[in-house]
Every structure is written in C-alpha cells, then in structure tokens.
Amino acid sequence: MMPTSLAGRLVGGAAIFIMLALLIAGGVIGAVLEHFVRGQIDQRLDGQLHAVADALVAPGGRLDLTRNVDAPPFDLPGSGWAWQVGHDGVPVLRSRSLGPASLGHPAGPVPALGLPPPFAPLDPQGRELARDRLKPAPPLSQEMAAPDWGRAMPDGGGPWTDTLLTRSVQTTIDAVPVVITATAPQRALRGPLRDALLTVGASLLVLAAAFLAAVLLQVRVGLRPLTALRSRLAEVRKGRTDRIAGSYPQELQPLVDELNALLEQNAESLVRARRHVSNLAHGLKTPLASLAVALDGPGYDPQGRYHALLDLMDRQIRHHLRRARAAALGSPARSQVALAPRVADLATALVKIYADKALRFDNHVPPGIAVACDQQDVDEMLGNLLDNACKWARGVVTITAVEAGRLVALSIADDGPGLAPDRLPDVLRPGRRLDESTPGYGFGLPITRELAELYGGALSLGSSSSSGLSAVLTLPAAAAL
C-alpha cells in the first residue's frame, strides 16, 4: 500500500495528516460556530423574556401588558419567533406571531427569572392602549382544545413544521405566578450556521490545496540534492569525473563523503591491480616467449612436448591475467579518454624519436571522439601501434578515427613495405618477430590486442591504401557507458 517512491510517501503522508487536521479543525470550528450562534439566539430569547416580564402587570389578579413587546420578528405570523405567558398551566397572553395557536407547557422544573423591582404601572391610557394592541388570549374552550401541558417541549415541536428552540422562566407578577416561554425556529440556528460552515469549508479546501502545493514544492526542493547526487554518480560511472563534487545538505554530506572515499579506495585498488598485472605479464610472458623462441632451435624439442607445455602455460597465464584485469577494469573508476589529444601527444614524441626518418603524421581524429578506457591503457595501445607504424613507415603515418554506434574504430596506417596476408596472424602471436633486424621483443601488437579484447574491442591488421600496414583498433565509445 505504500508508494514506491520517496516523494510519493512524503506527499501521501503529508496529504493524509493535512486532511485529518483540517477535518478536526472543521469540526472544532463548526462546534464553536454552533455554540456562538446558539448563544446569540439564547440571548435574544432571554431579552424577549425580560421584556415580557418587565411589561407584565396583574391588577386584581388579571394579567395584562403595559406596552407592546412584539418587536420584529415576534410580530410575524408563522415565523417561529414567539412568546407566551401562562398561569396555572393555561396560556393567558401570547405574541402576535402565534395567531390562534399556543405553545406547550415546559416539562420539568422551570428556572426563576431574576428581575429588578417591579416597574410602576403605566397610566390607564397607556395600559388601555397596550390592551388594544395585544389583547389577552380568549378562553381555551372558545379557541381550541387544551394542549398536552405535560409533554416535554425543550427544543420540541410547536404549531409549525420547523423544530423550535425554547427558553422558559417563571416569575411572580403582583402575587400571580406565571411561566413565560419564548421560542425561535431551528432555521434561525441552521441558516447562519450553514452559511458560515460553507464559507469555512471553502476556506479549508483552499487551505488544503495551498498546503498540498506547499508540500509538493517542499518535497521537490528537498529531494533536489538527491537528484543532483544521482546525476553526479552517473557522471562517475560514465568516467567523466572521478569523484562526486559539489556541496550537499548536512544530512547527505556524510553519504557523499563515504562515496568519495569508496571511489578513491577503488581507484587505488585499480592502480595496484594494474601494476601487479603489468608486472606479472612482463615477469612471466617475456621469459616464456624467450623460451619458446629458444625451443624453436634445431634439436631442442624435436617432438614438440615442451612447446605444448609452453602453450598451455601461456594460455593459463593469459586467462588469469585477463580475469584479474577485467575485474580491475570493472571498477566505477573507469574513465573516458579523448583520442585526439593522446594521439597528438604521442605523435609529437615519436617525431622526435624518429627524427632521422623525417616522418609526417596525418592526424584525422575528430576532437569529439572519446573511448571508455583507462588513459594508461589507451596510451599503451596507441604507443604500440604508432611505434610499430613509425618503425616501418617511409615518410607518412596516417591516423583516422570513426565513431560507429557504441564503438570507435581507430586506424593507423603507414606507407612502409606492408605484409603479405598469410603472414598477418603471425605478428599477433607473442614473441613472434618477422624481422630480427629491428629492435623489440615482439610483444607490442599482442599486448595491444589483449588490452582491446579486455574492453570488448579488437585489433585487426590489413593493407593500407599506400601498400603499407594498416592496424584497426576497435574500442567502446564513451557514450556507450
């Protein structure tokens, strides 16, 4: 169930916690808003209860009002905002909004209304005016059947389909005990609460979107050093650099330091392995080749048994040297080498060495071609091939390079006497020299072929366009890594 990517886990986890936090915040805000709106309604009902109680008088035990207390919305019929004054379980006075209906009697104990000293009754004219504006309710027998006063009515139903919010108090007016009830419709609570919650919900959705966008941006910025680290590791793997450069956050810097230390250790191991391989190759193969040449003399090995043993030893040495060198070259420290500068440097050195021949190098190696090989191996292979070409060239050595897909073909041709096709395989055998008058041991071309094969390349010989010898060295291109 967990995302496979680190970014997905971070974003998914943050999204879950953000939504939970916003849901909890929405619930808390809704409860606070409901408490606030309900408090406002209760205050309004309490104010109406006090207004009715302040206006009540009971001269001669008959309840009446000294003034009109039906302020809006208590004067709108069917609005649900209503009040009622009851005595001995019978409604005596009620608001204009009730019309002919009446409210039930609250069940259970009714709290007392704490009032200041009774107001002085108004003058008869004002009292009479109040009676004209709001007359007492007619007897129940003439209006409707008596309601069930024993039914509980807190937030209960009334004469309207909407549920009513009620508040009731009891007090005494001129020694007449009365119960005053005020009601408000449920929509007075639901309407403002719904409008407020819609606004709050929309705000929370916008806030959630903003939080998620911030999380996405934070994850992208926070994981950017990992992307940079991956690209620089790829540069190391492709051989374009030998260490991870750049500064990283303090959480990643120890990892980068460890990777650089590992790369340095591998590079040192590669150098040591190459040195051991080279020493072993020169320490074993040269005596074996010299022994093979000696055994070619008349009478030394007429039956060829020692030659067979020497061939077996040579194959075993080449096999184990190839495995050791291949393991070393499999290290991440393999680099890429541009051919043009190396050819130019070797050509400059060889012109001085063969100054007596006045050689000219035609270098046609494009500057953008590079091979995925170690520089020391490239120098050794190029040095062997160029040195061999300079030995036999009359005046011109031509060097060309072509990149074909994942390989680079480097051709080195001279204008010397060349070789017959049937004699070409012999020069690739260790210790075989076709002309004993030239200096050397006959290991240059075989070593070059072995190195090329270790990299997955090859060395082939043929005739050049000027009837000389042409050596084609194939190596993996740097872009193939």
Looking at residue 334, what is its pLDDT? 53
Q: How far apart are CA 63 and CA 261, in angstroms?
A: 100
Here the tokens at position 470 are: 């042409």
Q: What is the dihedral of CA 462, 466, 469, 471, to 10 degrees?
A: -70
CA-based angle 349:353:359, to the nearest 5? 85
pLDDT (0 to 100) of residue 326 = 59
Residue 327, pLDDT score: 58
- Of the two residues 374 and 130, the one the predictor is more confident about is 374
What is the radius of gyration, based on Cα positions, of the chain?
53
How large a percentage of the chain has pLDDT more than 70?
78
- Residue labelled with tokens 């916690």: 17
> Which has more confidence, 466 or 150?
466
Task: Residue 36: name the closest of 169, 200, 148 by CA.
Answer: 200
> Between these two residues, 302 and 186, which has the higher pLDDT value?
186
407-414 and 469-476 strand pairing: antiparallel
Task: Read off the pLDDT of residues 397-413 as tens digits, 9 standing for 90 and up.
Answer: 999 999 988 899 999 99
Tokens at 220, concatenated: 């992208």
CB 24 within 8 A of CB 142: no
Q: Which residues contact 452 (CB under 8 A, 6 or more apart)?
A: 381, 458, 459, 473, 474, 475
Identify whether the C-beta of residue 436 lies closer than 8 Å to the C-beta of residue 427: no
> CA 82, 83, 86: angle at the middle one, nearest 5?
145
Give the pairing type, strands 176-185 and 82-87: antiparallel
Read off the pLDDT of each residue in 201-224 and give the average, rounded to a whole number: 89
- For residue 330, the model assigns a pLDDT of 54
β-pairing verdict for 56-57 and 64-65: antiparallel
* Section 59-73 average pLDDT: 87
Model pLDDT, residue 341: 92
In this predicted model, what pLDDT tens digit does every residue of 399-455 receive, in sequence order?
999 998 889 999 999 988 877 777 777 677 654 444 444 444 346 788 888 888 878
Q: What is the pLDDT of residue 163?
A: 63
CB atoms near residue 374 (< 10 Å):
23
Count of residues making up the chain: 481
Burial class (CB in 10 A: 0-12, 13-18, 19+), 266: middle
Question: Which of the pair, 274 or 53, is modelled with greater confidence?
Answer: 53
Whole-model pTM? Answer: 0.48
Q: Are 249 and 257 a contacting pair, CB within 8 Å? A: no
Share the mean pLDDT of the chain.
Answer: 77
Residue 114: per-residue pLDDT = 60
Q: pLDDT digits over 278-337, tens only?
A: 677 667 766 777 777 777 777 777 777 777 787 777 777 766 666 666 555 555 445 678
- Please name the residues in contact with 100: beta carbons below 8 A apart, sequence gap of 6 or more: 143, 144
The answer on pLDDT for 73 being more than 60 is yes
pLDDT digits (tens, 9 = 90+) for 149-169: 333 333 444 444 356 788 888
Q: Which residue is listed with tokens 């020493």?
A: 279
User: What type of residue sits at position 397?
Assistant: V
β-sheet bridge partners, residue 260: none
pLDDT more than 90, % of the chain: 13
Residues 6+ apart with CB under 8 A from 203: none
Q: φ, ψ for residue 366 (rounded to 5)?
A: -60, 145
* Contact criterion met (CB below 8 Å) for 73 and 43: no
Say if residue 113's pLDDT is above 80: no
What single letter denotes the amino acid at residue 382? Answer: L
**What's the CA gap between 291 and 44, in Å, rounded?**
119
